[in-house]
Amino acid sequence: MRIGIDVGGTNTDAVLLDGRQVLASIKTSTTEDVTSGIVAAINGLQQQRAFDPAAVQAVMIGTTHFINALVEAHRLAPTAAVRLSLPAGASLPPMVDWPQRLVDAVSGRSYLVHGGHEFDGRHIAELDESELRKAAEDMGANGVRSVAITSVFSPVNAEFEARAAEIIAAQLPDVAISLSHEIGRIGLLERENATVINAALRELAAHIVDGLAASVSGAGITAPLYLSQNDGTLMDVDFARRYPVATFASGPTNSMRGAAVLSGLDTCAVVDVGGTTSDVGVLRQGFPREATTDVSVAGIRTNFRMPDVLSIGIGGGSRVRGGAGDVTVGPDSVGYELTSKALVFGGDTLTATDLAVAAGRAEIGDPSLVAHLDRDLVRAALDRVAADVSDVVERMRTSAEPLPVVAVGGGSVLLPDELADAGKVHRPENYAVANAIGAAIAQIGGEVDRVYAIEPGRREAVVEEAKQEAVDRAIAAGASPASVGIVDFDEVPIPYLPGNATRIRVKAVGDLQLGA
Amino acid sequence: MREITIDHLDDIARGAAILGTGGGGDPYIGRLLASSAVRDHGPVALVPLGEVGDDAVVLPVAMMGAPTVMVEKLPSAEQVGLAARTLATYLGKELTHIACAEAGGVNSLIPVVAAAQLGLPLVDADGMGRAFPELQMVLPTLYGIRATPMSIADEKGNRGVLDTVDNHWAERLARSATIDMGCSAMISNYAMSGAQARESLVPGTLSLCAELGSAVRQARAEHGDPVARVVERLGGRKLFTGKVVDVARRTVTGFARGEAKLSGMDGDAGSEMVLKFQNEHLVAERDGVPQASVPDLICCLDRESGEAVTTEGLRYGQRVTVIAAPADPRWHTPEGIDLAGPRYFGYDIDPVGVPA
């Protein structure tokens, strides 16, 4: 048995699974301190279906807590950005393009030091260790508690980042250190930004992870705890302490993964209709397609891996305005006030949920309260919703191949059974808790993303080496060796570079080794 | 516009991406560098081409190398200034003006960095009136102005001057030096007098970029039609509105070549357009019939936002409007067509111009 919990901004959803069978599922309200919401969710499962806590083999939690902390600039640690790049890069120092509010929130300090590599592994300059020691001294004097280290072309060669970490740790043993090559990809500013954000969240991560562990063990569960990551795989709690940014997009990712399992489709578009927005993503071989462009988080450009998700302002709480001829749905929503404002709950606001009830697509609240609605208006508004969602699905396709559509989330009752271009809409059972199911069934992954200079005749060997490394990483992270397979492989020659420079990305994924 | 301030940079970048006709890459780093240089040194004086004196010493500056490297090993403002100063020293002349070689992507903003850093005025002009992929494809070539002597500088302070027998050697030697310098170098070439600049450059390019950028921004704010505003300002015409249904790319000798297929929407439903590109869009065909070609500008814009879509950024499912606009008339001379007409790029057709 395993438990999956998805902590969203509004709801905390939980499921108890045996294999892939849902034994119990519950929706509770997210609490300010997160942990009491989790305790409530586990209790709720227990009430629905009594289980022996000792029989639970793993607990998986997806949480939006860390991204919210960044957006709200809340509880961020005093952070220093160390960049190994001189004599390059001085014109654009760390955090150059950040909103000032967030620079202040992390008490951001920057240090530029000689070092870094060229694209082909040569040194731009030797690492200047005395500069680093001086920087560390200054950090100590200024109360820095977390450090982000970024070296030019560290995705090609990480030796300088590792050495700089040793030097700083020797002088400041209590600070947390984050290294950029473990977090982002080529694109210095974006990778550095992601690393500084990670560094600023390290203290909060330690605190939250302890809280999650305490609430799970408080329920008598001794099984290991995992957190779900942006890419749909799991990390253990130690990893979560070190890489809180890896949780940023786990919400949409978990919904998509859950949709795949529930529908049995591993290549599809997933429409997750919530209270305020509909998020559309694409699954390939059961994993979310990643965004290929930089992703802006709280106004900061970053390049860590995030699922490619398009959102539109249509959800169960969307306000409906106008008449049959000029109806609009959203983008504003009554949000968590749905149960007091929507007509079906005796409120005075026409919402998308009222439309679904009036059209007989859902039984929510009191249907008699919407019986008076103009049929043409209801039809026109629902057609509008279908057309807009269909448009977004269409935009997410990357080829003319047909792509089945799976609808999940509490608001998916808004969608018709057929979408114009996409055809039939799949609606799996338990669609409302797809996110918690996605967390519960997540697997363990390992990844390699590096630029290789491929010598003539060596391509096969280099590719094999990269694949083996990804597999080894998955196993080291806790995957059962027999189940590990390569799920993604991408080889891109880099134009304008000599020496057959090729960026290779491999992802290996396997099932979590349970009860070892 | 007589001065470039930080507030103009976003508009210039947005407009340059349109004139870049699909090439030039993401101007993000160029924009950050320019805004940091202007913050440090103050606004850049922008001089109309007609006001540049005969004896002025005008040096265009640009970035050479791989954009993939530039986003990792960030160039410095000093490096840009160094390229220009090195060439001036070799020429034994006092540098008076900075110029822009091409409108498009990062190279529309590198000259702003150089001018701010050196405290020099920037000429409101460029060498193409658009973007082209190769070094010799500038109007000064038509006036016999040589690419060399040219300078090249890296972030370490290394610099070199190439004085070559022809432009082919300049390209070849500069390419090797660029690789040794770590694949991201700043160059200055096509040094010219004020008189030569007035004769050979395309006037008003940077102002035009800023105007296009601000027109798009404003049209969006007013819920107007940004694409129509661009067409109007460029004196061009709408060719096609459609959805990208296929993109085929291959890398040939360092250039991204390829074709994009669009399936018609709105008034163009039932028709198909094919865009052929090498970094920049070269030929646009509707149902097999060429509608526009180099040297005229073929710009692919997001149908709703009016933002330029680069050839690298073309993806299945995008809704775009393709527009064509006339190039500087000198590109339509026989010499101009030889230098950058469709046949140079391997398309056996006569240039298809946009009716004025």
Residue B15 confidence class, pLDDT cut points 50, 70, 90: very high
Structure tokens at B60: 């265009």
A367 by Cβ neighbours in 10 Å (0-12 / 13-18 / 19+) ranks as: middle
- The two tokens of residue B107 are 């190279």
Query: Distance between CA atoms of B290 and B272, rounded to whole angstroms?
Result: 12
Q: Give φ, ψ of A340 to 5 degrees.
A: -115, -25
Q: Are A506 and A447 in contact (CB under 8 A)?
A: yes
Evaluate if residue B352 carries a pLDDT over 50.
yes
Asked if B291 contacts B281 with a C-beta cutoff of 8 angstroms, the reply is no
Decide: helix, strand or coil at residue B324: strand
Instruction: Report the residue of chain A nearest B316, measured CA to CA.
Output: A398
Stated pTM of the model = 0.86
Determine the average pLDDT of the residues in A374-397: 89
Three-class SS string for A16-63? EEECCEEEEEEEEECCCCCHHHHHHHHHHHHHHCCCCHHHCCEEEEEE
Is the predicted pLDDT of residue B254 greater than 60, yes or no? Answer: no
Chain A CB within 8 Å of residue B302 CB: no
Judge if B3-205 and B224-345 fold alike in CATH terms. no
Give CA–CA dist A5/A60, Å, rounded. Answer: 6
Distance from CA of B194 to the nearest CA of A (A): 31
- Chain B residue numbers with beta carbons less than 8 Å from the beta carbon of A497 are 66, 68-69, 183
Cα A490 from Cα A101, distance rounded (Å)? 38
Q: Which residues contact A13 (CB under 8 A, 6 or more apart)?
A: A5, A6, A25, A26, A27, A28, A41, A432, A433, A435, A436
Contact criterion met (CB below 8 Å) for A363 and A357: yes
Q: Does B71 touch chain A (CB under 8 A)?
A: yes
* Residues A174-196 pLDDT 10s: 999 999 998 888 889 999 999 99
pLDDT tens by residue, B78-125: 999 999 999 999 999 999 999 999 998 889 999 999 999 999 999 999
CB pairs under 8 A between A and B: 103
Query: Which pLDDT score is estimated for A236?
Result: 87
**Min Cα–Cα distance to chain A from B31, Å:** 11
What's the confidence (pLDDT) of residue A494?
63
Instruction: Flag whether pLDDT at A478 surpasses 70.
Output: yes
Q: How far is B171 from chain A (nearest CA, A)?
A: 13
Superfamily (CATH) of domain B3-205: CV3147-like domain (3.40.1610.10)
Q: What does the pLDDT read at residue A497?
A: 63
* R_g over Cα of chain A: 24
Separation of first and last alpha carbons in chain B? 26
**Rounded alpha-carbon distances, angstroms, from residue B245 to A419, B23, B262:** 19, 20, 6
Right CATH for B224-345 from 2.40.390.10, 3.40.50.620, 3.40.50.720, 3.40.50.300:
2.40.390.10
Do residues A165 and A177 touch, judged by C-beta distance below 8 A?
Answer: yes
Q: For residues A147 and A256, what is the distance between their CA atoms, to the nearest angstrom?
A: 34
The span from the CA of A516 to the CA of A224, in Å, is: 10
**Among all residues of chain B, which has the CA nearest to that of A97?**
B32
DSSP state, A432? G
Stated as kind and residue range, the H or E segment containing B210 is helix B205-221
Q: For residue range A14-46, what is the model confidence (pLDDT) as tens digits? A: 999 998 889 999 988 777 777 888 899 999 999
Q: Would you state the structure tokens that stand for residue B43, as one six-digit string?
A: 């606004």
The confidence band for B270, taking pLDDT boundaries of 50, 70 and 90, is very high
**Beta strands A268-273 and A278-284, pairing class:** antiparallel
Any idea what DSSP says for residue B60?
E
Nearest to B74 among A88, A396, A495 (CB): A88
CA-atom Rg of chain B in angstroms = 19
Q: For the segment B23-60, what is each residue's pLDDT rounded down to a tens digit? A: 877 788 899 999 999 999 999 999 999 999 999 999 99
- The span from the CA of A432 to the CA of A25, in Å, is 9
Sole residue written with tokens 């200079």: A453
Q: Do A87 and B316 touch (CB under 8 A)?
A: no
Q: What confidence score (pLDDT) does residue A409 get?
A: 85
Residue A379: its pLDDT value, please?
A: 93
Q: Tell me: pLDDT of A377 over 80.
A: yes
Q: Do A89 and B77 touch (CB under 8 A)?
A: no
Q: In which element (H, E) is residue A77 found?
A: none
pLDDT for residue A110? 97
- Average predicted confidence (pLDDT) for chain A: 88
Taking 70 as the threshold, does the pLDDT of residue B251 lie above it?
no
Write down the residue that tokens 């022809």 correspond to.
B166
The separation between CA A254 and the C-alpha centre of its own chain, rounded to angstroms, equals: 8
Query: To the nearest whole percent, how much of chain B has pLDDT over 90?
Result: 74
Contact B36, B109 (CB under 8 A): no
Question: B292-311, pLDDT tens digit by residue?
Answer: 999 999 999 998 889 999 88
Task: Please state, in angstroms and rounded to a whole number, the distance separating the CA atoms of residues A181 and A187.
Answer: 11
pLDDT reading at A500 higher than 50: yes
What size, in residues, is chain B?
A: 356
Cα-flanking dihedrals φ and ψ of residue B281, to 5°? Answer: -70, 130
The string of pLDDT tens digits covering residues A399-430 is: 777 789 999 988 888 898 888 777 789 988 88
Main-chain dihedrals φ then ψ at residue B38, nearest 5 degrees: -70, -35
**Best interface-test mutation with B: which of A84, A91, A117, A126 has the largest number of B CBs within 10 A?**
A91
Distance from the Cα of B195 to chain A's closest Cα (Å) equals: 34
Task: Report which of B353, B247, B224, B355 is spatially closest to residue B300, judged by C-alpha positions.
Answer: B247
ipTM above 0.90 for this complex: no
Contact state of A188 with B71 under an 8 Å Cβ cutoff:
yes
Q: Closest chain A residue to B176 measured between Cα atoms?
A: A498
Cβ atoms B139, B201 nearer than 8 A: yes
pLDDT at position B105 is 83
Among the partner residues A97, A187, A493, nearest to B72 by beta-carbon distance: A187
Residue A336, number of CB atoms within 10 A of its CB: 15
| Contact residues, chain B, for A153 at CB < 8 Å | 72-73
Nearest to B245 among A301, A400, A494 (CB): A400
Nearest to A412 by CA among A466, A468, A352, A463: A352
pLDDT for residue B154 is more than 90 = yes
Residue of A nearest to B77 (CA): A91
pLDDT(A496) > 80:
no
| CATH fold for the domain made of A265-432 | Nucleotidyltransferase; domain 5 (3.30.420)
One-letter amino acid identity for A129? E
Residue with tokens 């950050």: B32
Bridging pattern class, strands B122-126 and B44-48? parallel
Q: What is the total residue count of chain A?
A: 516
Q: Which amino acid is at A152?
A: V
- B-chain residues within 8 Å CB-CB of A89? 73-74, 76, 155
In chain A, what percentage of residues exceed pLDDT 90?
A: 47
Helix (H) or strand (E) holding A216: helix A188-218
B330 pLDDT tier (thresholds 50, 70, 90)? very high
Residue extents of the structural domains in chain A: 79-187, 265-432, 443-510
- Check whether A292 has a pLDDT greater than 90: no
Tell which wins on pLDDT, A449 or B348: B348
pLDDT at position A495: 59
Is pLDDT at B145 greater than 90 in this prediction? yes
CA distance A501 to chain B (A): 11
In this predicted structure, what is the pLDDT of residue B164? 94
Res. A516: pLDDT tops 50? no
Asked if the C-beta of A472 comes within 8 angstroms of chain B's C-beta atoms, the answer is: no
Question: Cβ contacts of residue B223 below 8 Å, gap of 6+?
Answer: none
**What local confidence, expressed as pLDDT, does residue A127 receive?**
96
d(CA A433, CA A48): 15
Instruction: State the average pLDDT for chain B.
Output: 92
Q: Which residues of B touch A394 (CB under 8 A)?
A: 317
Q: Where are the domains of chain B?
A: 3-205, 224-345
Using a pLDDT cut of 70, give the percent of chain A over it: 97
Higher-scoring residue by pLDDT: A492, A161: A161
Per-residue pLDDT tens over the stretch A66-102: 887 888 888 899 999 999 999 999 999 999 999 999 9
Q: Which fold has domain A79-187?
A: Rossmann fold (3.40.50)
Per-residue three-class SS string for A217-245: HHCCCCCCEEEECCCCEEEEHHHHHHCHH
What is the token pair recorded at B338?
A: 């030889």
